[in-house]
Structure formats: structure tokens, C-alpha cells
Amino acid sequence: MNTKRFNLKRFKAKCFNVKFFNVIVVVVTFGIFLSFFLFHQGTESMMKAVRGLHLRWLLLAGAAMFLSWICEMLALHTILVSKLRIRSGLLRSLKFQMIGQFFGAISPFSAGSHPAQLYAMTKNGIPAGEAGSILMIKFMIHQVINIAILIVSLLCMFRYFNAKVQYFSYLCGLGLAVHIGVLIVTVLFCANPRLSGRLLAAVCGGLARVRLLKNAEAARSKMERELIDFHRSASFLKQRLGMCVRASLFTLLQYAAFFSMPYFVYRSFGLHEADMWTMLNAQIFLFNFMAVIPLPGAAGGAEGGFYFIYSLFFASNSILPALFVWRILSYYASIAVSSLFTLLLPNAKSRS
């Protein structure tokens, strides 16, 4: 028991240090982001563009972001209730989801999302093994749905965007390769426990040889214990196909809501020439490009990608204000809202 408490405290201290550093990175990034727009657009011109927005469409963009949070929460809640077989409040699942949202937003590759959710779940009375299993199931479902959406978009819209966006095929290929690579590793680990054990041993041995890992044997033992939970998750998925379908539908709705935001921003500028399907696919490609940027929120890559892709739809005098509005709603507002759940809401332990 004492060892468990010590490890949790040490993990919490590490999380705090990482969070503090990443928050500084996000604040600096926002300062650069804001300065860029004010320098290139001018304060008066920027405010004039923002004041001229159609409020109804802007509210729809905000509602789409909110809907994506709710759908992701429902996917997590579906898995949590099915895995633990308990009655659990939606507020608790919402807190877990928003904590993941916050730490994912302030960490490179959204890597802080699952560890933070794992810690929050253990603090709310869910065993660490069960919490890790729940998060692994959620990750696998998200990965499969995301790749399926990207493949459909490539089949439908690749020629259109490849003809109009410079280096589109290279960027698209890189994003697709990253996601498929992650999926292949996940499938291999699920399908072949022996192979996954050998891969872990090879990785630990390699890291030890280059002195990046001090105690390879201890690290290997820890990873093997985590692999047991991983394979339990895979077998659980086979037994709960109905749960997988429900969680997948919520995940699909989550992505649909999030990907529709640029269209609502587009309409808020009084524009209507482009159709929603084309702009939704543009956001799908942009989202996957951003996955390879190793900075919190894909800083720089997100803005550059939006500019190059959505310049197809926005006029030269409105693309920068549109980029500013989209980034505030899709990223910085997400940090602001999710931080309330992370910092202010008390623990909500299950009464079941």
C-alpha cells in the first residue's frame, strides 16, 4: 500500500512539472499567435473583421466543439460502464474526458491525455489496471475510426485537393503513414502476445545499450504487466461488440462535429460558395497533418496547414481572421474550458 501511495505521489509530482512547463509553452505560443495576427492584419482591421461576423454561424461553430466533447465523453462513459459493470454518473465521465482534453492540448502529440486520465480515474476509486484497460479500448476505437474516415476522404477527395494544394500528397502520405503505423503496432500487440513481448525486450535492450534506460529488466517487467491489461482489453472487445458499436458511433459523431467547425466559421464570414462536404474533408486532412507536429496543439503546423488548405475557400483579406477565429474556438477555448474541470471540480468518487 505504501509503495502504491509513493508511486502515485511521484507520478503526480512529475505530472505537475510537465504540466507547468507545457502551460508555459502554450502561453508563449499564444503570445506569438496573437502577435502574428496583430502585426500582419492590424488591430483595427482584425477587430473590424471579427465584429462583422454572423453570430448565428459562430454560435454553431462553438456548439459543434461542445458536441464533440459530449460525444467523446459518451464514448468513454459507454466503455467505462460496460467494463466495470457499475452505474456511473455522466459528470464523472465528463470530468475524465475534459482532463484528458486539457493535458492532450498542452502536450506534444497529445501524449499527456491518457496518463492524466489514468491518474484521475485511480484518484476516483477505479483500479489502475481497469482504468488502463478502459483507456486502451478507447484509444483503439478512436484510431480505427480516424483511419477509416481518412481513407474514405482520400477515396473521395484526394484528386481535388492534390490538384490545388502544393505538396498535398506528401503531407497526406506522412499523416496516413503515422496513423497506419500506430494501428499496425496496436494490432500486432493485440493479436500476438509473444511477439509483443519480444518487441518490448528488443526495445528495452536497445535503449539500455545506448544508455537511455538504466534498468532494462525492471522496465521490461513493468511493461509486461501493462501488456497483460492490454491483451485483456483486446479480448474484452471481442466479447462486447455492442459496446464497441455504440462507442464507435459516438466517436464518429465526435469527429463529425469537430470537422464541421471550419465550415461554420466560413459561413460566419458571410461566405457560401463552398459546400460543407468539401470543407469537412479539408479539415479531415488538416487534422491528420497536425498529428505529425511534435508541439502542443501542433503549434505552427495547424496554423500553416489551415492557411494553405483553406485559402482555397477564403479570400485573401479574410483568411487570417478566419484562421484566428478557428484556432481560438478549436484549441484555446478548449484549454480554457477543460482547465476548469482539471483545476476546480472536486473528485467525484463512485457511490456504486
pLDDT for 163: 92
* DSSP, res 53: S
CB 291 within 8 A of CB 178: yes
pLDDT for 216: 60
pLDDT for 229: 60
pLDDT for 152: 94
pLDDT for 3: 40
pLDDT for 5: 42
pLDDT for 118: 84
Give which of 143, 144, 157 is closest to 281, Cα–Cα. 157
Q: What is the mean pLDDT of each run of 10 residues along the chain (352 residues)?
A: 44 51 61 62 69 92 96 95 80 91 82 83 82 84 91 93 89 83 71 65 62 61 64 65 92 97 96 95 92 77 88 89 91 87 58 40
